[in-house]
Amino acid sequence: MNCVYRKVTARKIISLMLVICLIWMPGIKAYAEESAPVTIAAPSAILLEASTGTVIYEQNADAACSPASITKIMTLLLIFEALERGDIKLEDEVMTSAHAQSMGGSQVFLEEGEMQTVDTMIKCIAVASGNDAAVAMAEFIAGSEEEFVSRMNEKAQALGMNGTHFEDCCGLTDSDNHYTTARDVAAMSRELITRHPDVFNYTMIWMEDITHNTARGSSTFTLSSTNKLLKQYQWTTGLKTGSTSKAKYCLSATARKDDIDLIAVVMTAPDYKVRFSDAATLLNYGYSVSALYKDANQDALPRLLIDGGVQDDAGLSYQQGFSYLDVKGNDLSTIEKVIHLPESAQAPVKAGDKAGEAVYRLNGETIGTVPILFSENVEKAVYRDYVLKVLSYFLL
């Protein structure tokens, strides 16, 4: 009798558990759907805010992918760095080599010996994704495409792009040794737009004519942007498309809304429409959850007492401004900024040395710090300095 009772009881328990599972399964499914903030078709993607580098969303962001013409983001970065150093100027004229002319794929049909300004070459790269223009600029800056690519790889390492290796400057190669990741593309995109925002003067061009001046005469060629988001998404500012049979369809899309710059990278999308729709989906999600706190740190700081120095105190300055991206709906007006400085510092001190820091707190938690630096040198006082101080005291 006990065995029968136990069997019946066990069956009831199992039946009850099945009923509970059936009741809860829709809820579990709904929760899973709610926990995925966006749905995109591309297998690899990332969304981040540019000023802070905060990642808002990612999906297989470290998967190795062929970048195609997204490679040119690094090419543009090195071009703008050369401009910043003064190595080249926008009005400099660049000659197209036979090697540059031989590039296939996306091109602006430069001819061997043709001269174009750096300014025009940047337009050809940023707007029309000209492989010939990219190689011509690589040769102009570094002497050869090979040397330029070496510099691209060095810059990638400096930016922590450990999942990236370049073999050309335009992305035309199908080599398995030319690869990157969505995260790395976002990193070089962020470096480009935050350090060199003038790139937007080019990436926001929808259509523009250039003039070919060759031995056969003068002709007009219309550059047409490969980035269709410029017409499809009103806050678009750039940045670069890419596509080959190996890479499929890629896009690093930048946008600005309410002073928030977002970067959405989509890799290996199945077709060109999907890369744009996926990017728009990511950007819309980002703007729906993002709030940005900024402090320019231009308020006056006190002078800090210096012990044993040739002067009694030293000026201070912030190293930089502060930005914080919130995606949790917090009230950013409650952020507190607290200055931490010692009562004094011991001489000598050098301009640029750290004196203290500004600490930012939200809801009782530290969300970031900014170093406070000495803005001037104060040498250590010697016997002669003390004598002069005493004399000046009595002479006053």
* pLDDT tens-digit readout, 168-218: 999 999 899 999 999 999 999 999 999 999 999 999 999 999 999 888 889
Q: Are the C-beta atoms of residues 380 and 361 closer than 8 Å to each other?
A: no
Please report, as a single letter, which amino acid is at residue 230.
L
Structure tokens at 156: 């990638």
Residue 129 known to be catalytic = yes
Structure tokens at 334: 């409650």
Residue 224 known to be catalytic = no
Q: pLDDT tens for residues 70-114?
A: 999 999 999 999 999 999 999 999 999 999 999 989 999 999 999
Count of residues for the chain? 396
| Residue of 44, 97, 129, 252 marked catalytic | 129
Structure tokens at 280: 């728009």
| Residue of 69, 97, 290, 323 marked catalytic | 69
Please report, as a single letter, which amino acid is at residue 108.
V
d(CA 91, CA 114): 15
Q: Are the C-beta atoms of residues 334 and 345 closer than 8 Å to each other?
A: no
- The pLDDT of residue 384 is 53
123 is in an annotated binding site: no
> What is the mean pLDDT of the segment spanning 35-45?
88
Residues 133-171: b if buried by 16+ CB within 10 A, e if exposed: bbbbbbbbbbeebeebbebbeebbeebebebbbbbbbbb
Beta strands at 304-307 and 344-346: parallel, antiparallel or unpaired: parallel
Q: What pTM, to 2 d.p., does this model score? A: 0.85
| Residue of 51, 72, 155, 252 marked catalytic | 72
Domains and CATH numbers, the chain: 44-289 (3.40.710.10), 295-395 (2.60.410.10)
Compute the CA torsion angle 307, 310, 314, 320 (nearest 10 deg): -110
pLDDT band for 31, please (50, 70, 90 cuts). very low
Residue 69 known to be catalytic = yes
